[in-house]
Amino acid sequence: MAKRQFGSDSRADQLKEDLRHLSDTVEELVNATSKDASGEMSDLRARAESRLKKARAQLEARGERLYDDTRETISDQVECCDRYVRENPWSSIGIGTAVGVLVGMLLGRR
C-alpha cells in the first residue's frame, strides 16, 4: 500500500483549485470568442472545448478510481480487523485495555 507524503492533501487541493480556475477561464474564453466568426478562431474554440471536456472526463474517471480503490482498501482492513478480533477475543480485549490505559494516562497528565 502506498503511503502519502506529508502535505499531499494540500497539494491535491491546490491542484483541484488550479484546474477549476483553468476550466472556468477556458469556458469564459470560449464564450467570449463565440461571436468571432473567423474560421481559425472557431477551430481554436472547438479544440479548446474538446480538450476541456476530455480533461474533465479523465479527472472524473481518476477520482472515481481513487474512491473505489480507497473504499476497497478500507473494506479489506476492516474485514481483517474483524477476523482478528473474532479469532483472538482475549488478545483484542487486552490490546483495547492497554490502549485505553495509555490514552487515560496521557490525558491525565494535562
**pLDDT tens digits, one per residue of 11-60:** 677 777 777 777 777 777 777 766 666 777 777 777 777 887 887 788 78
**% of the chain exceeding 90 in pLDDT:** 31
**45 close to 33: Cβ distance less than 8 angstroms:** yes
The C-alpha cell at 25 is 477561464
State which residues form the domain around 67: 21-108
Q: What letter represents residue 96's amino acid?
A: G
The C-alpha cell at 55 is 480533461
Provide the pLDDT confidence category of residue 1 given band limits of 50, 70 and 90.
Answer: very low
Burial of 92 (0-12, 13-18, 19+ CB in 10 A): middle
In a domain, 12, yes or no: no
In a domain, 42, yes or no: yes
pTM of structure: 0.49
Please give the tally of structural domains in the chain: 1
**% of the chain exceeding 70 in pLDDT:** 85
**19 close to 59: Cβ distance less than 8 angstroms:** yes
**24 close to 48: Cβ distance less than 8 angstroms:** no
In a domain, 93, yes or no: yes
